[in-house]
Structures are given as C-alpha cells and as structure tokens.
Amino acid sequence: MEAVLPIEVEIPSMRILAEAELEEAEWEKQRYEQLNFIDEKRLKALCHGQCYQQRMTRAFNARVHHCKFNPGDLVLRKVLHVMPDSQEKFAYKYDGPSRRPSPEEPSF
C-alpha cells in the first residue's frame, strides 16, 4: 500500500482517482468537479483578499488623526524638485518651516 498525504484523502487528486480505477464517465465527472472547485477556491481567495484590504484600511484609518491648518500656521513644505547638486538620498525632502498662506494668497 502506498502512502497518501492527508490532504489527498480530503480532496482526491487525479493520481488517487486513477488508482481507484474509476470508469471513464465517472473520472470525467470527478475531473469536472475538481475544475469547478478550483474556480470556487480562486473566488474565495479573491474575496478573502478584498476583505483583508478593507479590514487593514479600516484599522489604519482608525488611528489617523486629521489636522486642520489655519492661515499663518507654521508648516513644512515638501520639496517637489530635485536639485542638480543634491546628494540623492541625503537631500532635504522638506523645506521649512514656512507660514501657511491665507486662501486669498497663492499657494506655494
């Protein structure tokens, strides 16, 4: 008797089905059921991934503190351009502190 993995007992593989010497029609039926099971398993994994993403988003957003900045507050301004003489990863990423402009003034 050949050793069989426990998972193959629950979900028979094609090797197990072939060893059972099933009739051709029965074998085709088993194969069709296995292919349907693969689609169901793929959809279940996709649903699980989407639910996981939603849970992670909800958990992250629960700890986010929203800040309201008023005109005249000191803020850091992100440097959007790279200076030609900058030293790549050691370059400053923020410029500041600077005052937040009022809504009438043009933003930086």
CB 11 within 8 A of CB 31: no
Domains of the chain by residue range? 6-62, 68-108
Model confidence over 4-58: pLDDT tens digits?
656 555 556 666 666 666 677 887 888 888 888 898 899 999 999 999 999 999 9
Contacts by residues 4-11 (CB-CB < 8 Å, ≥ 24 positions apart): 11/37
Under the banding of pLDDT at 50, 70 and 90, the label for residue 93 is confident
Cα torsion 30, 34, 39, 41: sign: positive
Residue with the bigger pLDDT between 106 and 101: it is: 101
State the pTM of this model: 0.42
In the chain, the amino acid numbered 39 is D
Question: What pLDDT, in 10s, does the model give residues 64-88?
Answer: 888 888 888 888 877 776 666 666 6
